Amino acid sequence: MSASVPAGGFAAPKGIPEYVGPEFTTVRDTLVREADRAGYAHIELPVFEDTALYARGVGESTDVVSKEMYSFDDRGGRSVTLRPEGTAGVVRSVIEHGLDRGGLPVKLRYTGPFFRYERPQAGRFRQLQQVGVEAIGVDDPALDAEVLAVADAGFRALGLRGYRLEITSLGDATTRPQYRAELTRFLEKLDLDEATRERARINPLRVLDDKRPEVRAQLDGAPLMIDHLSDEAAAHHAAVKRYLDDLGVAYVENPWMVRGLDYYTKTTFEFVHDGLGSQSGIGGGGRYDGLMAELGGQALSGVGFGLGVDRALLACRVEEAGHDAAGRVEVFGVPLGDAAKERLVGIVGSLRRAGIRADLAYGNRGLKGAMKAADRSGARFALVLGDRDLEAGEIQVKDLADGSQTAVALDDAAAAVDRALHEG
């Protein structure tokens, strides 16, 4: 099958951001590093799963499942879905591979793209990038606090300060049926459209998350879960807050919070940055005590988060946060002539073998063009080599930060640059 090139050329699909250069990877890797420091091992998840995994695990009443999933039949007639979130896939993997049969908790972290069909706007994309962690197998409020602290440390490591952590509790198996009945009685008295009444029938908590003014106006006086916690759930919530105080993590209570996924219980949280407008959430998560059993595994609890890399990057731009986006390379070779290029190719290779990021001006550029390329690369040093340098057995090491230049022996070039980088 052949297809013509569209007028104006090809373009990325609508709502799919693209990133070039170190800015995106610096943000992502900074968030990952904080999870690594807390002992979370990497897990690489499939980009698509059985559709039933999300319908069962995330909840059929959620907008994610009912409106936003990219689902399709594969060539074998199986319904598969591009992953809209990470927790269900991690829990499925833990069950499938028996990871819960060893030491607990199982602590895993993941990165990558997730997919939701939404109306594209600033901060809301159809392909979104996330860093997530999951700690499965232990119901301990100290673990909830650790998860929250890892996320907070990641945002702080990026230099962000204009965000807040909002937390609440969504109760437990004892709390929820009683609260659900009371909330249902309250909602039955309201003037709601049929679609909203159906949502209330499936999961009345979802109505509390409705953003429409005509619905919000009617919710004044609605019963809140935080006021109906069982003794055990209330004790858990109080302990989480004490551990957050011990960890130095600031938070505010938000009793109206309702996460967009049905599996959350007890600790529930969101990181909010008001500088991003309506799409203010930069990460969130919570505890999901019944999810593993729901997906066919042991009745083990879990807690985790998903942090939006795209949103965190936008927040960094809003705050002009210095997140130390490193240059593409550390050293840039500038050869002036064919003989100089042949020698510099070997030197650049030696630098790379020594673990130093290095590049070279290709295409026989003149000195001016090659130095512009060196500046664009973000390198700290340029190695400038011409015919006269070759005759003298030297190479010029130019510090691109202050403009100073030093001649060193050609045979010592790689070692000299290594020393200079470490001294700097």
Q: Which residues are annotated as a binding site?
A: 85-87, 116, 130, 134, 259, 263-264
Closest Cα to residue 144, out of 246, 45, 53, 261?
246
326: helix, strand or coil: coil
3-state secondary structure of 107: strand
Q: How far apart are CA 257 and CA 224, in angstroms?
A: 10
**What 8-state DSSP symbol labels residue 12?**
P
Chain centre to alpha carbon of residue 15: 17
Report the distance separating Cα 125 and Cα 116, nearest Å: 8
Question: What are the φ and ψ backbone dihedral angles of 220, each rounded to 5 degrees?
Answer: -60, 125
Instruction: Let me know: does 210 contact 196? Beta carbons within 8 Å.
Output: yes
Tell me the one-letter amino acid at 183: L
Q: Known binding site for L-histidine: residues?
A: 85-87, 116, 130, 134, 259, 263-264
> Residue 67 burial (CB < 10 Å; 0-12/13-18/19+)?
exposed
Q: 106-115 and 163-169: which strand pairing?
A: unpaired
Burial of 286 (0-12, 13-18, 19+ CB in 10 A): buried
Query: For residue 15, what are its two tokens?
Result: 């709502």
Query: d(Cα 351, Cα 329) in Å, to the nearest integer?
Result: 11
Which residue, chain included where needed, has tokens 């551990």? 243
- Residues linked to residue 115 through DSSP beta bridges, in sequence order: 127
Q: What is the DSSP letter of 66?
A: I
N-to-C CA span, the chain: 56
Contact 234, 240 (CB under 8 A): no
Are the C-beta atoms of residues 134 and 242 closer than 8 Å to each other?
no
E-assigned strand segments in 56-215:
71-73, 79-82, 106-115, 127-136, 163-169
Q: List the one residue out of 288, 273, 310 whose CA is nearest residue 130.
A: 310
